[in-house]
Each structure stands twice: as C-alpha cells, then as structure tokens.
Structure 1
Amino acid sequence: MTQGPETPDPNQQPEGSAPPPPPYEQPAQPTPPPYGQPQGGYAPPAGGFAAPNPAAPYGVHPVTGVPYSDKTKLVAGLLQILIPLGIGRFYIGDTKTGVWQLVVTILTCGIGALWPFIDGIMILATDSKDAQGRPLRTS
C-alpha cells in the first residue's frame, strides 16, 4: 500500500524557522467594586459625613469661615418685634443694648418701643452677630 501525501503537523515547526508568536491575550480587567462602594482611592468617612468640628458645632460661615452662633436669627428678630423690650438682645447675649432698650421703653411710657421693633427688623434683614461676634444661624 502506498501512502498519500502527508499533511504537516501544525504543532511541529519546520527546521530553521522561528517559533510563532504567542496568541494575543488581553490584560486581566479589575472587577468593579460592589454597588455603593467607592471607586478609586477616595473613601468617605465612616457614616458618610465629615467629622464635626468641636469648635464649630453649628457649622461655619461659607465666606468668612467664622463658626456660627448657637442662637438663631429668626428667634432673636421675632422676640424683638413681638416683645419690644429688648428681649431679643438679651437672647443673643447683648445685655448692654438690651438694658438700654428696656430702660428707654419704660421711661418713655412705651413710645421708645419703636427702637427694639426696628432693631428686630434689622436683625432679620442683615447678617447680625451675637455677643461673641459669631454670625447668627438662619435656621
């Protein structure tokens, strides 16, 4: 019996030739983190919020960086308007002005109550400060 033409073995390389290059492999892709996990090098603080600053428990003014007062602008203004005896000034710690408003209102038989009334509107309309010079909170 005669043999027919042989087919070359693909695993066998001819003599004198270079080996074929290895097949192209894609680099392994990192698996994405599970949903809700941070990507990259950023990791938020525990709880999702920054740690509170003990020197500014109510936050800081965004422009000046001065910590907010523990008193609110709305309460101080309404106390001045509704009870025009300087009560709003006592509330924010400005006792000197509060005493003057009280004395003027009593000595003028109530006509001097116009001063605390207008002062209450000014507290609500402007960036007022407490006795320590910290800006009043808006809410």
Structure 2
Amino acid sequence: MISDFLTEMSEGTPPPAGGAQIPGAEKKLVAGILGILLGYLGVHKFYLGYTKEGVIQLIIGVCTCGLTGIISLIEGIIYLTKTDQEFVDTYITNKKGWF
C-alpha cells in the first residue's frame, strides 16, 4: 500500500483527492470580495444570480451615495466566513437573497 503510493508519487501521478469540491463553492470567494469592494452597487448579487436584489441594491446605493455599502460589507464577510457547504446550501441551493 505504501509502496504503491510512493511509486505513484515518483511517476508524477497525483494521489486521489480526499474530497471533491462542492459544486457552487467556487463562487464563495469571488462573491465575498465583490460584496466587500463593489457591494454598494449590488455586483455580488448579480454574480450570484439575484437580479431583483441586485437592482434594488444598485438603485438604493446610487440614490443614497453608497449607503448600502455597509450592508454589502457585512454580506461579503458573511460569505467568506461560511463553510463551502453552508454557502452552497444557503445561497446557491436555497437562493437566500438577503444576508
């Protein structure tokens, strides 16, 4: 068993993955960063497919000179602190639009 592993490593074959990445989890980092940096324009909402929420946040953000930036900062931090599974369950599968 160990010799098989060492043989595979010496041949350049990567070891089998311990766990496959959860579909949709790759959006977590980008959505979090967009929420923190450009969230007052609702960009993170559009990225996640929440068009209605994105338009609402964009209109309010423009009319209030970016006041929605505080909400977006909080959302971005929430996105980044959730586990991949929690993020996918909450925002990809269940389509929770706010917080």
What TM-score results when the alignment is normalised by the length of structure 2? 0.58
Percent of residue pairs bearing the same amino acid type: 36
CA drift of 1:121 comes to 1.0
Q: Structure 2 CA distance, aligned partners of 1:125 and 1:72?
A: 13
Q: Are 2:84 and 1:128 aligned?
A: no
Q: Structure 2 CA distance, aligned partners of 1:48 and 1:121?
A: 34
Q: Which has the higher contact order (CA 8 A, sep 6+)?
A: 2
CA drift of 1:70 comes to 6.2
CA drift of 1:112 comes to 2.1
Runs of 4+ with deviation above 4 angstroms? 47-50
CA RMSD of aligned residues (A): 3.0
Aligned residue type for 2:23: Y
Aligned residue type for 2:57: Q
CA drift of 1:78 comes to 0.3
Partner of 2:23: 68
Which residues of structure 1 form unaligned runs of 5+? Answer: 1-34, 37-46, 51-58, 61-66, 135-139
The Cα offsets for residues 45-84 of structure 1, whole Å up to 9 and x where unpaired, read as xx9759xxxxxxxx46xxxxxx521642111100110112
- Distance 1:81-1:132 versus aligned 2 partners, 3 A rule: closer
**Is the CA contact (8 Å cut-off) linking 1:87 and 1:98 kept in structure 2?**
yes
Partner of 2:34: 79
Tell me which structure has the larger Cα radius of gyration: 1
Partner of 1:88: 44
**Is the CA contact (8 Å cut-off) linking 2:25 and 2:87 kept in structure 1?**
no
* Structure with the higher helix share, 1 or 2: 2
The Cα offsets for residues 19-66 of structure 1, whole Å up to 9 and x where unpaired, read as xxxxxxxxxxxxxxxx64xxxxxxxxxx9759xxxxxxxx46xxxxxx
Aligned residue type for 2:30: V
- Distance 1:113-1:131 versus aligned 2 partners, 3 A rule: same
User: Greater CA deviation, 92-101 or 115-124?
Assistant: 92-101
Aligned residue type for 1:103: I
Q: Structure 1 CA distance, aligned partners of 2:93 and 2:78?
A: 16
